[in-house]
Structure 1
């Protein structure tokens, strides 16, 4: 999906509009995103098309975040830090994914869009385990799930006003690496 910066900005605004107004009309979503209903109609046609566009865009953005973090070659802790930063740059899409996620999101063709992302995370955590950076008593796919859960959970908590945006990267990194233990 080749998008202009303006299209990307519009998609992020629409992602938030859908989260804020889950039952909103097409006109409501357009107004919330700062465009006319006609513009939104030309842009995506239907609400279902909009959701699909947002899911595809979110998938592409997450793959770009993986690439920018250089999970294959960068030292594991540096890559983890970059990975968190890259995800938080696209908070709007994370919030959208939180609301849109369903258990069957990884099934069938729709799930194929997320395979490169989850495979890259699994491979990264496995590499980190082999290098002695991440604990080995928890399987790499489980580390991927824990990482995603912490990330998505704190982005949601930030949106609800329970967690400050400031210091979020350090908080996620610290909690992922050290957990809730006092030591």
Structure 2
């Protein structure tokens, strides 16, 4: 996929809120889509020189580690804020999807980078606990009769992750607006899980 830097403040640049500045946000977006990207490619995606990127991050490993830590923290806090254990399962699912939709541009970092090498054990444990809360939401919906019992909670996590990555790429390439991507994401998960 070709690298395309987003204009700061554009609809595809919501990751600035997560990462705190446009350079880190652009590098994170590119790394989420191209996990083996070099520092030169990451600098180009961020619209800065390689030397400038190295002044900010002393090595590629340091850059990847910082971006992964930030993405993992954002994942944990977004799911916690969505409170998947509260309200009806369909309402909770909608809140979770909306919260994670705002992270779609960087979810690939959590799926494609070796988190064990880049994230401290305490944060890894919090990430695992957060994933378990999403599995519990699916189980709760199955027990209440709202969700289909034949859909494995593990599959829901996998599907959610890669649908978010695909949504982010569609927005980046101009194929979908942010709003359209969010609507399709919600519709896909709802049609997969909600019993008719």
Partner of 1:127: 140
- Higher mean displacement: 87-96 or 46-55: 87-96
Whether the 8 Å contact between 1:76 and 1:128 is mirrored in structure 2 is yes
1:59 touches 1:114 (CA, 8 Å); kept in 2? yes
Asked if 1 retains the 8 angstrom alpha-carbon contact of 2:18 and 2:70, the reply is: no
Question: Is residue 8 of structure 1 aligned with residue 16 of structure 2?
Answer: no
Q: Number of residue pairs matched?
A: 171
Give yes or no for contact 2:43–2:49 (8 Å, CA) kept in 1. Answer: yes
Counterpart among 57, 61, 73 of residue 70 in structure 2:
57
1:160 Cα deviation from its structure 2 partner: 3.6
2:149 matched to 1:156? no
Question: What is the CA–CA distance in structure 1 between the aligned matches of 2:175 and 2:55, rounded to whole Å?
Answer: 37
Query: Which range moves more in the overlay, 72-81 or 53-62?
Result: 72-81
The runs of 5 or more residues in structure 2 that have no matched partner are 1-16
Shift of 1:20: 6.8
Q: How is 1:72-83 mapped onto 2 (pairs within 5 angstroms)?
A: 72-83=85-96
2:180 to 167, 171, 178: 167
Moved more, 121-130 or 84-93: 84-93
Is the alpha carbon distance of 1:32 and 1:121 closer, same or farther for their aligned partners in structure 2, counting shifts above 3 Å? same
Match of 2:102 among 84, 89, 101: 89
Residues in 2 aligned to 1:25 and 1:142: alpha-carbon distance in whole angstroms: 34
Q: String of CA shifts for 1:23-68, please: whole Å, max 9, x gaps.
A: 4435x64464356666644543211011011111111111111111
User: C-alpha deviations, 1:70-106, integer Å up to 9, x for none?
Assistant: 10113222222221221222233125446x347x99x
2:39 corresponds, among 21, 25, 29, to 25
Please give the root-mean-square deviation of Cα atoms over the aligned residues, in Å. Answer: 3.4
Shift, 1:113, TM fit: 6.2
Tell me if structure 2 keeps the 8 A contact 1:65–1:86. Answer: yes
Q: Is the 8 A contact 1:56 1:113 kept in 2?
A: no
Q: Is the 1:95–1:156 contact (alpha carbons within 8 Å) kept by the matching residues of 2? A: no
